[in-house]
Structure 1
Amino acid sequence: MTNSEMSGSSPFKMRLVHLDLKGAPPKVSYLSEVFPLFHALGANGLLLEYEDMFPYEGHLRLLRAKHAYSPPEIKEILHLAALNELEVIPLVQTFGHMEFVLKHEALAHLREVALFPNTLNPHEAESLALVGAMISQVMELHPGARWLHVGCDEVYYLGEGEASRRWLRQEHNTKARLCLSHMKAVACHVLARHPATTPLVWDDMLRAIPEDQLSASGVPQLVEPVLWDYGADLDIHGKALLMEKYRRCGFLRLWAASAFKGATGASQALTPIEHHLRNNVQWLQVAASGPADMLQGIVLTGWQRYDHFSVLCELLPVGIPSLAVCLQSLLHGGFTEDVKARVENFLGISSLEITDLMSEGAGSFPGSDILALITHVGLHLRSSVDTLLERDSLLARWSTLVQELEAALHRVFYPDAVEEWLEENARPSLQRLQALVQDLREAASAGPGPGPGPSPHSGQDP
């Protein structure tokens, strides 16, 4: 049975898996392993948030991360996506969440507020030229993309820069108007150069704008908003009313956005599946109660950092059981025993736990070793170090497990992400344990009687 046949019951024609590459971006080899799984689970598209992983060229080269994908790697990712019938929508931030751009000295003069690198100053001609250049480089590597997501969420401090304050003192000027004019400029830029590509925007900056202003702005004719809410207790009626409002303002199509990971805590290490299942099932209810035929699809977001400077939250392999549960529930209209059995089958998991953490030996899907080891670290590393019942054997055990996890992570992620995750979640406890074992050894060897002397490896890393 093909995806299109299966999804007869789903109100979401497009089901996109969001890959947030601004933290722990997977190696292309790992993407080649998971794309077939995404497809099998019912996804038919990808929203690729490249951030600094895109191989920007020329004067934008400074935006590249150390392990940025090369142009051939991007082509390979798109080829793998096509093989697995996953339509790719690239995402380029053009307003808020511009930290990866505006943190650079050479571009800092384009900040809305000098102290904060998150928001672009919409009054500078150079600002539009900058996002225009980013867009054209991304589109060059994504020829024929039907949609381009231009971000525009969480535009913090908008209106607080010097130029904005001056502008806002003029009659009729408001922050809403400022926001809409920049959105419109970006959308027009995209459409002028890529008439077959529709810009998508996150909807949070639009929600509170009065209907008449939104209607008069010209924005509804240019973009498709993505309504996002990652909570486990959606206001279903409120969402339906918001969709109605957008329809009255002239938007022709809307998208929903749920989450499968990365939305329950900035430093969350293990994914609470039940939370994300409830979130996605409630989006099914929104789809059933909102205006018919406006919904183009749903994006299952999988955030990897809350922003460019935040710590890592759950790694992609850790979130895969949650993604499987959410995609299959969206496809089949809910989470039944039958859907649970299908998910267990897809993931090679004997009994799926929705409410509790996954069991430590869970699954045979790509990256399941990482999930099992991270679950083990999350459940036991801190507590076992805190209790410290036995010294040397405990250190040897944890050193071995962390080395095993490190090797598993290296297969999927680049060295800096592996380093960051271990630094955040494993190394501090291991170092405490090591120092303690060292102290105990020294105390023992210095003490009276024939106590055990220092081992030959004393003072070295295990």
Structure 2
Amino acid sequence: MKRTVFLVMLLTSIFGYAKAFQNELNDPVSPFSVRGFHLDLRIQAIPMPALKKLASQLVEGGINTLVMEWEATYPFQEEPLIPNRFAYTREEVKDFIAYCNSIKLEVIPLQQSFGHVEYILRNPKYKDLREDQKDYSQVNPIREAEAKKLFTTLYKDLIATHNSPYIHIGGDETYLLGHSEESKKKIKAVGIGRLYGDYIKMLCEVVVGLGKRPVLWADIALKYPEALKGLPKETVFIDWNYGWDINMFGDHEKLMKSGFEVWGAPAIRSHPDNYFLTQWGKHFKNISDFVPLAKKLGYKGIIMTSWSTSGLYAPVFETTRDIVDLYAIRRVYPISGFNMLIAAFIESIKSEKALDAENFIYRYAKSQYGLDENDAKVFWKAVSAVPFEITQGKPIHTDLSIGQMLDSTRNAALTLGKLKPVKNAKEFEHYRLMAAIRVQYLTYQSIESRANAPEMDAEKLKPLIEELEALRTRELDKKFIAANSEVMYPSEIAQENELRSAKIRVLLDRLKRVK
């Protein structure tokens, strides 16, 4: 009950703020007939009462569509091996959809049907559908008959609980196209575009045959425009763009001339965001740049995506062919920490002008936290400090060293600690926690970098043990629990805390053996 009450309060503050901005903007009319928010439940399951409140506040903010990526939280009736331990009951789902209908919020179910289906193909029952027997992420498109049977069953189940005219079938990031010998033969005969397109055509026709309109991500169709041929005219493509050139996936003009309806999709959480990094500036720029472009291109809809993970999984193998479990690759800070970006998106789709991100941030800091103009600027500088990745011990896209990044992040964390929000203090605490987690991460990276230096020997490694032990992972774990226990299940939080500090424990245990 406490978790639900807190999330209700949290969401009320987010969308109440967005609603206030709507009045400031003289009640402009959005050019998007579909104004949507995408909810990713792959590693975040939210209690149903809180979901209802979220739905209500989305509607108040001007959102009319909710794309639900249920994944394994959906209680499939005829395929009971697919749901996971956090799956909702059918009664909960039906009641939620009925509630959304009553407040005029359309719920589009998203059922991945080509790539990103590890959670289905992990079960031996579906092993013959795998494109690769060591990477369970993708369906073999040659196995059309078996796939048609499975996904027809899943679509029918979703239709039994949802009444949207759309079914989102996924279709993105099919990295394994052509891996199986069967697929290789078809590519040799007709090309990789037709390998993708023929399978997608089959899925779309199933959806149309069930009286619905198929929706799919546009990246692979952009890459292989021949895949567009023969698709049902009812098909809708979502052009997801998180800050790159419009032609990154392929010739965008061909999609625009294809005659299909197109929606756009920016993101508030996406690569390379993870436990330790949120690229706030990138996401604000994505909203500022892409929403106006989507308007200019005449897109009928806009869907804000919010990815809790990359959608890729690392299998833990028991043998060379059998897995024990799947672990999500790249886990992101919970959505409870991203209220500011949600509010920015809501404002942007209503405004006739591109979002002025800097002005918006200062107004948000003043409205939500009671900060004056100077403190608002200090806040933004601290939150957006040194937003760079580290890969294999090396900072990416910057000349800064790990030590310099650590110094800047420590200063940012100290700055956030000194600021005194006069309201919504619990929301503000997320920024402090994110900064503290990043300081811990960069401290570890500094230790790991020194441990791997060529000149290090056993004697020189010993002092690093004390540094690792001083990282105080348990202290941060407690803060993470305090900040997020209302919006995540206890077992989810326990796993987050364990995985976030895993590298620290592994290196510490190894160094303790040094004599």
> TM-score, with normalisation over the residues of structure 1?
0.77
Deviation at 1:425, TM superposition (A): 2.4
Conservation of the 8 A alpha-carbon contact between 2:223 and 2:250: no
2:383 is aligned with 1:379: no
Aligned to 1:284, what secondary structure does the other structure show? helix
Match of 2:492 among 409, 414, 417: 417
Identity of aligned residues (%): 23
Distance 1:434 1:248 in 2: 59
Deviation at 1:431, TM superposition (A): 9.9
Aligned to 1:322, what secondary structure does the other structure show? helix
The superposition leaves residues 393-423 of structure 1 with CA deviations (integer Å, 9 ceiling, x where unpaired) of x989874553243244332112332122111
Conservation of the 8 A alpha-carbon contact between 2:368 and 2:424: yes
Distance 2:97 2:430 in 1: 25
Match of 1:298 among 295, 299, 302: 302
2:64 is aligned with 1:52: no
Distance 1:385 1:156 in 2: 30
Distance 1:283 1:328 in 2: 14
2:169 aligned partner: 150
Provide closer, same or farther for how the CA distance between residues 169 and 378 of structure 1 changes in structure 2, counting only shifts above 3 A: closer
Conservation of the 8 A alpha-carbon contact between 2:198 and 2:227: no
Provide closer, same or farther for how the CA distance between residues 371 and 131 of structure 1 changes in structure 2, counting only shifts above 3 A: farther
2:289 is aligned with 1:279: no
2:223 is aligned with 1:208: yes
CA RMSD of aligned residues (A): 3.8
Aligned to 1:221, what secondary structure does the other structure show? coil
Match of 1:102 among 102, 121, 124: 121
Deviation at 1:229, TM superposition (A): 1.4
2:7 aligned partner: none
Deviation at 1:319, TM superposition (A): 2.2
Deviation at 1:261, TM superposition (A): 1.0
Distance 1:68 1:141 in 2: 15
Query: Higher relative CO (CA 8 A, sep ≥ 6), structure 1 or 2?
Result: 1
2:283 is aligned with 1:235: no
Distance 2:425 2:159 in 1: 32
Match of 1:182 among 196, 199, 220: 199
Deviation at 1:54, TM superposition (A): 0.7
Aligned to 1:300, what secondary structure does the other structure show? strand
Aligned to 2:255, what secondary structure does the other structure show? helix
Unaligned runs of 5+ in 2: 1-18, 314-328, 385-415, 448-462
Conservation of the 8 A alpha-carbon contact between 1:6 and 1:331: no
Conservation of the 8 A alpha-carbon contact between 2:369 and 2:428: no
Conservation of the 8 A alpha-carbon contact between 1:270 and 1:318: no
Aligned to 1:31, what secondary structure does the other structure show? helix
358-367 vs 104-113, greater mean Cα deviation: 358-367
2:349 aligned partner: 330
The superposition leaves residues 362-384 of structure 1 with CA deviations (integer Å, 9 ceiling, x where unpaired) of 66298655554344333357649
Distance 1:140 1:6 in 2: 40
Distance 2:471 2:294 in 1: 53
Q: How many residues align?
A: 417
Deviation at 1:66, TM superposition (A): 1.1
Match of 2:214 among 196, 199, 223: 199
Provide closer, same or farther for how the CA distance between residues 156 and 396 of structure 1 changes in structure 2, counting only shifts above 3 A: closer
> TM-score, with normalisation over the residues of structure 2?
0.70
Deviation at 1:49, TM superposition (A): 0.6
Conservation of the 8 A alpha-carbon contact between 1:269 and 1:315: no
2:42 is aligned with 1:22: yes
1:249 aligned partner: 258
Provide closer, same or farther for how the CA distance between residues 311 and 254 of structure 1 changes in structure 2, counting only shifts above 3 A: same
Provide closer, same or farther for how the CA distance between residues 220 and 227 of structure 1 changes in structure 2, counting only shifts above 3 A: farther
Conservation of the 8 A alpha-carbon contact between 1:273 and 1:354: no
The amino acid across from 1:154 in the alignment is E
Deviation at 1:84, TM superposition (A): 5.6
Unaligned runs of 5+ in 1: 439-462
Provide closer, same or farther for how the CA distance between residues 30 and 156 of structure 1 changes in structure 2, counting only shifts above 3 A: same
Provide closer, same or farther for how the CA distance between residues 431 and 169 of structure 1 changes in structure 2, counting only shifts above 3 A: closer
The superposition leaves residues 120-178 of structure 1 with CA deviations (integer Å, 9 ceiling, x where unpaired) of 01222111111111111122111x212211100011222221222333444xx122112
The amino acid across from 1:248 in the alignment is K
Distance 2:69 2:487 in 1: 18
Provide closer, same or farther for how the CA distance between residues 427 and 164 of structure 1 changes in structure 2, counting only shifts above 3 A: closer
1:120 aligned partner: 139
2:81 is aligned with 1:62: yes
The amino acid across from 1:250 in the alignment is G
The amino acid across from 2:83 in the alignment is R
Conservation of the 8 A alpha-carbon contact between 1:381 and 1:398: no
Conservation of the 8 A alpha-carbon contact between 1:100 and 1:308: no
